[in-house]
Amino acid sequence: MRLHENGQVELDGIDKIILNELMSNANLPISQLAKMLGISNTAVHQRIKKLESSGLIQATKVVIDPTVLGYSTLSFVGVFMDKSSSYDLVVKALKQIPEVVEAHFTTGNYGIFLKILCRDNSHLMEVLNKKIQQIDGVTRTETMIALEQTINRQIKL
């Protein structure tokens, strides 16, 4: 791995293999990676630490399936604001709504684009009407319900 002055990282083939394997299974033992690559455990560990310190690896985390917890309605919501200067206050309020799992400041029609997880359509309606649309600065929302997620992946290296 080489770190450029602009903050971008240049990966070599070994780094790419390590990252692709860890993205597939973050619990993969370092010893197994080392054996696969034909290098020492220490070399793999040092490479992973460099990738973490560069900021490329942001976290190792557990990913849960929300449907197992009863959250079967996934929706995307475009949020219209009265003015762009409302953004910080609207985002601060959105952070207090646990069903909002992602928020993106976007170009185009919406000021903010949300990903929301709810138990069902009634729960979604409650979140929209009683929480999001009540935020000062929000003028209206536009909702799309996801019927099926057909692709869920990270960028391949």
Same domain, 74 and 139: yes
Q: Which pLDDT value is given to residue 64?
A: 92
| CA pair distance 16, 4, nearest whole angstrom | 17
Same domain, 14 and 49: yes
Our count of domains for the chain comes to: 2
| CA pair distance 66, 8, nearest whole angstrom | 34
Same domain, 40 and 108: no
Indicate which CATH number applies to the domain containing 102: 3.30.70.920
DSSP 154: P
Contact 9, 17 (CB under 8 A): no
Give the structural domain span for 130. Answer: 66-146
Amino acid type, 11 = L
Non-local CB neighbours of 59 within 8 Å, separated by 6+ positions: none
Residue 119 CB-density burial (10 A; 0-12 exposed, 13-18 middle, 19+ buried): middle
User: Among positive and negative, which fits the CA dihedral 63, 77, 111, 127?
Assistant: negative
Contact 7, 18 (CB under 8 A): no
Same domain, 76 and 120: yes
Same domain, 9 and 76: no
pTM of the entire predicted model: 0.84
The answer to the question of residue 137 being in a domain is yes
pLDDT per residue of the chain (157 residues) written in tens, 0 to 9: 888 888 889 999 999 999 999 998 999 999 999 999 999 999 999 999 999 999 999 988 888 999 999 999 999 999 999 998 999 999 999 999 999 999 999 999 999 999 999 999 999 999 999 999 999 999 999 999 999 999 998 888 8
Same domain, 39 and 76: no
